[in-house]
């Protein structure tokens, strides 16, 4: 499986500011995803990060709030914009196993713990 | 979209006993069902998965069963140990988008 890292691991931010989270994989993968896990809750898919094209967002998530970049097959960023306390969550990236693009198996990064004051 | 329900939300078992977590899904087209274990402060880790062409899969003390007709699947942990204490999530998909259940907090009592 791939080694997935995220930066920062945690942050405390003021409301109204923005934070960019990085996800780095040690091998090329086709599919990269961003999830949100609110405190004590399950995982919710925010969007699929597409290399070379705009991300595909799930219902309830919009590009203006969560802009995503995917400049290559090993890296993606998620920005949480104009933050409010309701954005306090763990943000996780995940990638498909072996990078084949046809496998559903996903492996998660360590997550970024965000607290918005 | 896919809707996954998971029960129970909490489960307390005596060490050595078995634990069973059940999930139902709504989309009959779903064909892949992974289970993740998340320890406190850590990332979700895949522990076992099953595809719709298989009814049961076992890996040491962990097994998963799938009933496509009833659209439900279950996780079975035998001979539970303290290190099995964690939150367990089931998920389902018919493409690459995973829909997760709400999670089950398992506590193994020594």
Partner residue opposite A31 with nearest CB, options B1, B43, B96:
B96
Average of pLDDT values for B19-35?
Answer: 95
**Between residues A62 and A102, the one the model is more confident about:** A62
* Rounded percentage of chain B residues whose pLDDT exceeds 90: 90
**Distance from A16 to chain B by nearest Cα, in Å?**
26
pLDDT digits (tens, 9 = 90+) for A17-41: 999 999 999 988 888 999 999 999 9
- CB of A30 closer than 8 Å to CB of A36: no
The more confidently predicted of residues B39 and A28 is B39
Chain B contact set for A107 (CB, 8 A): 46
Over 80: is that where the pLDDT of A102 sits?
no
What is the model's pLDDT at position B90? 98
Interacting residues of B24 by C-beta distance below 8 A, sequence separation 6+: B4, B5, B70, B71, B72
Residues of B near A (CB-CB distance < 8 A)? 1, 32, 34, 36, 42-46, 49, 89, 93, 95-103
Using CB atoms, which residue from A31, A41, A43 is nearest to B44? A43
Which bin fits A73, alpha (ψ -120 to 50), beta or left (φ > 0)? alpha
pLDDT at B68 over 70: yes
């Amino acid at each position: 499986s791939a080694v997935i890292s995220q930066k920062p691991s945690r942050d405390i931010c003021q409301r109204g500011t923005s934070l960019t989270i990085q996800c780095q994989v040690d091998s090329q993968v086709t599919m990269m995803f961003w999830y949100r896990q609110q405190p004590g809750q399950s995982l919710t898919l925010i969007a699929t990060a597409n290399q070379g094209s705009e991300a595909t967002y799930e219902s309830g998530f919009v590009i203006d709030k969560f802009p995503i970049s995917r400049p290559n097959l090993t890296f993606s960023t998620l920005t949480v914009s104009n933050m409010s306390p309701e954005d306090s969550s763990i943000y996780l990236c995940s990638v498909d196993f072996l990078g084949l693009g046809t496998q559903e198996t996903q492996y998660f990064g360590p997550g970024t713990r965000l607290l918005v004051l | 979209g896919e809707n996954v329900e998971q029960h129970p939300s909490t489960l307390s078992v005596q060490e050595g006993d078995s634990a069973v977590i059940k999930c139902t899904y709504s989309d009959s087209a779903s064909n892949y069902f992974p289970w993740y274990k998340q320890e406190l402060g850590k990332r979700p880790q895949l522990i076992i998965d099953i595809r719709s062409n298989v009814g049961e899969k076992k890996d040491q003390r962990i097994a998963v069963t799938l009933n496509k007709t009833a659209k439900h699947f279950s996780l079975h942990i035998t001979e539970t140990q303290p290190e099995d204490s964690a939150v367990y999530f089931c998920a389902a998909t018919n493409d690459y988008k995973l829909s997760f259940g709400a999670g089950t907090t398992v506590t193994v009592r020594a």
